């Protein structure tokens, strides 16, 4: 579902906008470097690094890299400890169901969140310890420097276990609590949460951001932040508790730490369920049924289709309707908003205040509603408003 995957890591400046906006980053200010490795780890004498080819590194790492799927998107993760997979928080934020898929065909459901670091966009997912191979080694003894060769492994645009190579371009100071590793190793939406490896197969970062306003500007969170999170003693939270957390411009709306209960978070109790049809198209319909509903031009390519106009006129949308299918059934509908005021008025009137609002420094905004049965996401750019309705089947995989 390419159109949907394009948003799986939020919007334009693709990742950078969503990550920096939703986690309250505000430009380049005084530098606070990544934390040093825990003392016991820092004193350990690492074994001499083994020189490996790119193909050897990919082969050795492949089984420990997983696809992370939720009802509203997908990303990448990798095993960092027995029973623990690391990924980006924005890949799983708001999800009530998380599924891991390995290169060997195993599918595992996550039942608990072992750790959270909203400041650095990191999450640790717990699974049955004997279900996946061993963890990838972390390089915590020496920070990367410009010119170091690197390999990224991820799920760009849903293409699992994709490897790309490049170098460390720079180590950037982008906030009071954040340093990022800039790299030329290409990544795309869906790569978020994947490992960035050095020439010895050790993880030096977690691929997180891309800047679409330039050429090949890619960023990873340094592994030192992940090492610190792994040594955090905060209590795990259940997936049910995690799904209740609202993530906005400054992280959790209630300001509490990840170990505290979220039973008191207020949510609209009279909010309607996710609609059974959108703009005249029934969710779950086949391509032929959708075509029969379309009164204007209809063009289908693979699992995507475009109808020249909505069968049912909507005061807040105009132009073509984009349809996305999975397993021969319609799972998402994308509309183009006619105006920001009309879009907000229509959606807020029907569904109440949004669950989250993220603002990018570029002026782009993302607003989202979590509903029973699906989600609605509005991406607002300088010249375009995108409204994406995505159904949420009981089986996560049926959405992809």
Active site residues: 90, 121, 192
Name residues whose C-beta falls within 8 Å of residue 155's C-beta, 6 or more positions apart in sequence.
67, 74, 75, 76, 161, 162, 190, 191, 194
Rg of the chain on CA atoms, in Å: 21
The whole-angstrom separation of Cα 69 and Cα 74 is 4
Give dist(CA 79, CA 85) in Å, integer.
4
- 63: three-class secondary structure by DSSP: helix
Q: Which two tokens stand for residue 383?
A: 């010249």
Residue 24 tokens, joined:
């309250």
Task: Specify burial of residue 95 (Cβ count, 10 A radius: 0-12, 13-18, 19+).
Answer: buried
* Cβ contacts of 57 within 8 Å, gap of 6 or more: 151, 197, 199, 200, 201
DSSP three-state, residue 359 = strand
The helix/strand/coil state of 127 is coil
Give the C-alpha separation, 112 to 400, whole Å. 23
CA atoms of 80 and 167, how far apart (whole Å): 23
Note the residue count of the chain: 400
Which residues does residue 175 pair with via DSSP β-bridges, in sequence order?
Answer: 178
Q: 75 and 193 in contact (C-beta within 8 Å)? A: yes
As a whole number of angstroms, the distance between CA 85 and CA 81 comes to 7
- Structure-token pair, residue 304: 């995507």
- Residue 248 tokens, joined: 């906005």
Place of tokens 């905004």: 365
């Amino acid at each position: 579902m390419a159109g949907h995957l394009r948003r799986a890591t939020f919007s334009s400046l693709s990742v950078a906008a969503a990550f920096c906006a939703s986690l309250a980053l505000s430009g380049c200010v005084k530098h606070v470097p990544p934390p040093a490795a825990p003392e016991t780890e820092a004193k350990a004498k690492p074994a001499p690094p083994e020189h490996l080819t790119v193909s050897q590194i990919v082969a050795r790492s492949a089984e420990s890299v997983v696809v992370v799927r939720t009802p509203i998107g997908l990303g990448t993760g990798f095993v960092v400890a027995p029973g623990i997979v690391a990924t980006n928080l924005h890949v799983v934020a708001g999800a009530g169901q998380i599924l891991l898929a390995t290169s060997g065909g195993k599918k595992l459901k996550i039942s608990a969140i072992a750790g959270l670091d909203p400041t650095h966009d990191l999450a640790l997912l717990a699974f049955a310890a004997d279900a996946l191979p061993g963890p990838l080694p972390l390089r915590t003894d020496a920070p990367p420097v410009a010119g170091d060769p690197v390999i990224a492994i991820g799920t760009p645009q849903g293409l699992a276990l994709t490897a790309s190579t490049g170098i460390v371009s720079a180590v950037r100071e982008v906030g009071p609590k954040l340093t990022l590793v800039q790299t030329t190793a290409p990544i795309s939406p869906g790569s978020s949460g994947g490992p960035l490896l050095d020439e010895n197969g050790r993880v030096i970062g977690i691929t997180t951001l891309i800047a679409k306003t330039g050429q090949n500007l890619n960023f990873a969170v340094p592994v030192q932040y992940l090492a610190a999170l792994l040594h955090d003693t905060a209590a795990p939270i259940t997936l049910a508790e995690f799904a209740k957390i609202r993530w906005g411009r400054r992280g959790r709306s209630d300001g509490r730490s990840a170990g505290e209960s979220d039973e008191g978070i207020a949510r609209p109790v009279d909010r309607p369920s996710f609609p059974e049809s959108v703009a005249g198209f029934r969710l779950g319909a086949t391509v032929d049924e959708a075509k029969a509903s379309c009164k204007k031009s209809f063009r289908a390519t693979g699992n995507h289709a475009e109808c020249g106009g909505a069968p049912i006129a909507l005061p807040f949308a105009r132009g073509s309707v984009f349809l996305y299918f999975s397993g021969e059934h319609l799972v998402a509908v994308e509309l183009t908003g006619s105006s920001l005021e009309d879009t907000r008025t229509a959606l807020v009137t029907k569904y109440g205040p949004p669950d989250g609002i993220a603002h990018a420094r570029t002026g782009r905004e993302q607003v989202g509603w979590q509903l029973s049965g699906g989600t609605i996401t509005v991406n607002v750019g300088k010249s375009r408003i995108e409204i994406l309705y995505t159904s949420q089947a009981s089986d996560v995989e049926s959405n992809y």
